[in-house]
Chains A and B, each alone.
Chain A
Amino acid sequence: RKEVEQDPGPFNVPEGATVAFNCTYSNSASQSFFWYRQDCRKEPKLLMSVYSSGNEDGRFTAQLNRASQYISLLIRDSKLSDSATYLCVVPPKVNTGFQKLVFGTGTRLLVSP
């Protein structure tokens, strides 16, 4: 199993829709996870951190399912500005003792009018 896997998409949704992405990971000992957002030809930017069962920030909810080893990102009431690639980020299999992360290849979201 890959350290982290994401559906590449693209997910095409209309404005106002609710959309969810999943990300599976292989390291059962992982404690912290992150979702980053990356706009076209720009750098990744931190969207949310997930340290326990989940996290909510406005229209965005991240949930962690340790039993099945996946994290999800739910976006409610999608906006045109949500169009981007969403990267799932997990700690590596080998504990390096510091913050070396493994980035998924990303899920592309396209929100249309």
Chain B
Amino acid sequence: DVKVTQSSRYLVKRTGEKVFLECVQDMDHENMFWYRQDPGLGLRLIYFSYDVKMKEKGDIPEGYSVSREKKERFSLILESASTNQTSMYLCASSLGYQPQHFGDGTRLSIL
């Protein structure tokens, strides 16, 4: 079974802090994704990566950056956290055109 692991289930940070969310997958998938999910808005893609050191902006990249130094790890960075970035963050990975597999999610609160 594919295992996608996110570093924290719950996280509370303050406005202006730099926040790191980590995601690791164990199935050698080349594609990795970061989404946020908010009530009524569904899943929105922030960034994705299709190879080590490669990244592409998704639909809502503003205020975020990513890092993929190793194939198994994809990090999401909130450069200067703001209250409107309070959300559920979901990491996913996939192989080629196969369906995406998700991690458990991180509930991030920015105070």
Contact = CB atoms under 8 A, between A and B. Distances in A.
Interface of A: 32, 34, 42-46, 49, 87, 89, 96, 98-101, 103-106
A43 B103 contact: yes
A16 B17 CA distance: 51
A104 B104 contact: no
Counting contact residues on chain B (CB < 8 A from A), the size range is 20 to 34
Q: Is the interface of A mostly helix, strand, loop or mixed?
A: loop
Contacts of B96: 98-99
B31 A98 contact: yes
Interface in B82-107: 90, 94, 96-105
Q: Is the interface of B mostly helix, strand, loop or mixed?
A: strand
A103 B43 contact: yes
Given A46-B99, A98-B31, A104 B42 contact: yes
A113 B18 CA distance: 47
B110 interface: no
Nearest to A46: B99
Nearest to B50: A98
A60 B55 CA distance: 36
B78 interface: no
Interface in B48-78: 48, 50, 56, 58
Contacts of A89: 99
A58 to B, nearest CB: 18
Contacts of B40: 105
6 contacts: A44-B90, A46-B100, A49-B99, A87-B42, A98-B96, A100-B33
Contacts of A34: 99
B97 A42 contact: no
Contacts of A46: 99-101
Nearest to B41: A105
